Structure 1
Amino acid sequence: MNKRIFSIHLFRILMIAMLVIPLAMGAISSPAKASVAEGGVVAWGNNWSGQTIVPEGLENIVAISAAFSHDLALKSDGTVVGWGDSYYDQAIAPPGLTDVIAISAGASHNLALKSDGTVVGWGENFDGQATPPAGLTGVTAISAGYEFSLALKDDGTVVAWGDNYYGQTNIPDGLTSVVAIAAGAGHSLALQADGTVVAWGSDNYGELIVPADLMGVTAIAAGPNHDLALKSDGTVVAWGDNDFEQINVPTDLTDVVAIAAGCYQSLALKSDGTVVGWGGYGSGESSPPDVLADVIAISAGESHSLLLKSDGTVVLIGSTTHGIPNLVSAKTGVIAIATGQGHSLALKNDGTVIGWGSNVYGETDIPADLTDVVAIAAGGIHSLALKSDGTVVGWGPGGVTSGPAGLTGVTAIAAGYHHSLALKSDGTVVGWGNNYSGQIDVPSDLTNVIAIAAGLYHSLALKSDGTVVAWGTNYNGVTDVPAGLTDVVAIATNFIQSLALKSDGTVVAWGWYGNAQSRVPPGLNDVIAIAEGYDHSLALKSDGTVVAWGDNLNGELDIPAGLTNVIAIAAGWGHNLALVQQETSNLAPTANPGGPYLGAINTAIPFDGSLSSDPESDPLSYTWSFGDGSTGSGATSVHTYTATGLYNACLTVNDGSLDSASVCTLAVVYDPSAGFVTGGGWIDSPAGAYKANESLSGKATFGFMAKYQKGTNFPTGNTAFQFDLAGMAFTSQSYEWLVVNQGSSNAQFKGSGLINGAADPNGNAYKFMLWATDGAPDTFRIRIWWEDAAGEHDVYDNGAAQAIGAGNIVVHTSK
């Protein structure tokens, strides 16, 4: 086996091996550094599976790129943000890097394309992959491969540099008219303007066997050893390595607008903003959340994927290695937390559960229909949820999660390494799962229990009289409850030590080779909660601070500076969680004036701002400004305009202390008896007006008539606008309104129509608005657009009132 293919196989073997090694036994990653945010969940300690990373929201993102163990995001201000593995500084953007318009993350190096057509590289550079050729300019696209790089120039040629072991940087002779490029592990792809694909480099997995009949391609993507092509009909074709079923494209997949190829998985973005994934080796990297929508870009990495939403935020799915966070859709509203061997859970105030970290055994595969949860527990490799109806739901390996048939009346749950416990409302305990050491052999006379705890191969129960009962293995003395221990209000246990919290706020410990109590910090008091990890302990004090003791191999004792206002704690096998009290502060309300509004002159027009809102649901007061110097108040208000025109009606709301931003909507006031407007001629269409090709300029012709039929409030007529150079001919179908302004000889009207006889991309008529002035000179403006959920999309707009080149416009006003 050659060295490159062997290295990729070895990388896969190591990744799988690292996911199944018990994290607490190996402790093979560096301790994660924590930061304290205002409210939410804080985590620290071992981070090999991402269990200590609670993602912070990335905002104003316009592009994303996922690699083996690091990620990049391009912000709207032209700067780059990186995170994850940075052994070669690949997650750290070069100082002063700005004006970036595209990014590409390779195995351990990155490329950034600047607005001036130059390329910047950083990260690993053993093969020169991060050093673009001197004098490289005119670049329009970039792609970073395993240890090499590609650049597409504005003349349709390709430049390559870096490792050439497989000939992946040997550009085929005569390759021109290229419109897109993609770099894999040891091969390269180029999409030509005629919709065909060219491949070169490694062919160990069939990467170069482009389907013979493949045509009409509009986009390409290269994984390390497999490739994807998006066709103009919205379907996807795949070839190359299929060890993880990454080229098994779903047979019903259509309407695709973008594709991404990762190490083991493939992704497709559909026109409705949803994402479809296939392949992968079980880390969730090809399983986007069912509720996820509004996605505008996708990128696939080694065992994780990135999804960019239309609001500029980034969602991350899949497994993690070097601090790349798993999907945690929200951190606010959390009311309880739990940690297992390598995973973490959070219970939200709406009764749903979120999970992150290791998922080798399905321990973070939250059941899709799980709701009404009141408590959670995380075991070594499984998870439990207690529902409000007293039943228990488990996920992870079978046996340890499936409770006894008919189990009801449960009030508390506990998850050990391979066993589970349930406390019933009658004070009895039920156990299930592994029983190697008798850990589920609940003492037959055990009653009056008020709390339970499950360790490695042992169990604890706290009775209503303040005493503790233990059973199962006594490894390290974890079941040797100290004689005379009473007044206990809480218990905790894990691997080699057990804890009891007494009513006086002190802590008693046993286990750890008989020396557990000697490790409790001297003078520790005022404790209100305890948690026990693999070989470390936590105590939450009444002042909201946390004390930790025991082993610190993974930074378990490195409590984040400034951590206060803690209301709950959880200790895992090398990592910790703290639930921080959300700071409450008054937030400004949001005004919603409704509209747009349409009404006749001298007629009362109702305005409705009742959809305005306040984050704290405070009562609101309303102030209206109707755009003609008049004001109003109330959630609903009525106003009568005495002159025709287009008015900005604005609303501001106040929650008793803070004003909202003023939000305006359009109020159209017309007079059916004011007159009508006609016109015909041409304008010199300026560059930038035709949005599909803003370089076009030249003559555009128009003709229109708009009027109200006698006794009606609905305008009629027709409008035609033709820009021959762009091949665009617009004709109206209907009008919505017409405003003729007496005394100023101008008119505006709005309607809908077709372009070249066809509807918009959604099958609806295009919208248009026309402004006309009868003056010296006559002026004309037309805007044509279409709408969808994302907003308005201009087709044509000459931008301002423009003097006509020939013809005339007449505003016929009534006398």
Structure 2
Amino acid sequence: MAQKVIAIAAGEAHTLVLTGDGNIYSWGRGMFGRLGTGKEADELIPVKVSFNNSSHRSGNLYPQIGDRDQPRFVGIAAGAYHSLALADDGSVWSWGYNSYGQLGYGQENSHVPCLVEQLQELVSDSSADVPANTSATTPLKICLVRAGGMMSFAIDNLGSLWMWGQCPQSTDTGELCLVSSSSPLPVWDFHGHTVVKVACGNEHVVAAVSSGASYMGRGLICYSWGSNTHGQLGLGHKESQPRPVVISTFSEESSWEVYDIACGAYHTAILAQKKSYEEDIQCRCWTFGLGDNGQLGNGSTISSDLPIPVIGLPAEAFLISVDCGLFHTAVVSADGEVWCWGMERGLGLCPDASYSGGDAGDALHPSRVRSPETNGFQFLGPVQIACGAAHTILVAGDGYRMWAWGRGRNGVLGRGVTDDSYNPAVVTWPPLNEADIRQLQGGGGASTSSAGTNEMEREMELKLSEAMERLNLMERYANILHVSVFRKQLDERRLKESFQGNVVFDIKREFDNMLGTADSDELARMEGFYKSVLASVKDEILNRRVERMVRESLASMSRERRQG
């Protein structure tokens, strides 16, 4: 459970991971302190975010708290240059860039996580507004956090929405204005309803809200507000909205209901399913807003002010996660197939996009991402996908494996190097401990001069990069081999059980165990696979025999001519 990833969030050039034991890890660009490590240095592999130096912004420092006492976290969010974390007691913590008050306190950047005290105070003070059908003793607390651009959002356990940072608001004349506020503000427009999900771009917000007072698992309505210069609100026009407006495509009367939402800088993506519950589940990905780089996946670079289904996604695929980067979009299905589309071929956005004519390399249609794990188009155990400005992270292996591709600057891919990757590469996970890093770096050394230390650090970084490349290559090879033999993913959690005596892998025992637990369909697929492999081997053996016989016959004829 400690190394299982249960949530992931990507900022402009940094990534956050939440693990099953309530810890948070970060990596990528460190500028503005967005990694929460206490400094602005980049991190090329995941590092644990420590709360030992966390503080109240009022100036009262927490006492030095050990790992045993630090908060247990249940949620994370990443804005462009800042980060949020939600603890199980409802407290919200933030760090990074803060020029617009998006951290929820002052305007100074923070290199370490700090408690958003005002949010706790506001939620506590709002107890007088508890709905009549709720117990007066029900304690209010935050249960979800989200961030995007320079904004931050939180939803409490009664479904109320709070926002702070550079947020869209209404002037006295009813026009849109962007107001910077370090104090969390309630969004009163949804009073009497339950806000379930929220997403935000640079200057626009989309929320999924219950049609009634409470959410019963069905019937979400989609609202949007903020800047609409590119149609990113999906309202059929480009007039900005200072207050939430229902998107008619996903209204209460619509035949589609929303279950996931995401915002790019100036575009929006929504996953929705048919409301006809008696039929097979039908779902689609809808996009709207800026389309200059193909991020809408509609086969063109034309923007749209109305939601349009993405062209090219299989009708039978059930999409479980969607996210938007700056100018790209990505989705993953329950079967583990991943599609990306949008700006810049290969740099994490749309692998294998084609060039033609004046094509800038943008993918105008969904491009299916090949899995190095299966050597096909299926990632095993898909969980969630997240997009940064120019990188994409996929959580798979039921939460125990991560893949990254895109622009690798500042170590944003989390694999120990800064190189770009045109194909999914394994993120260094589980995270290395200090002993592992020292071993990969070749061990410590005696103190030297500053110049010598810098040279040693560069040499250590090179050794670490080379070692990580070798580890990634060997892990990829091991997984492909394991899937080819056993028709299932290599599970590191059970790896030790598979070694006996002198660390010898008992393939026969593993294969017998796998056969004993396989169902009829799995056995049939395996039979077909191995029959195909056996037929190919027999064909190759026959071809070589024929080739050898032909060579021997020609050689014999040549000898007879020479003798004659």
TM-score by length of 2: 0.36
Q: If each structure's strand is expressed as a fraction of its own residues, which one has the higher value?
A: 1
More relative contact order in 1 or in 2 (CA 8 Å, sep 6+)? Answer: 2
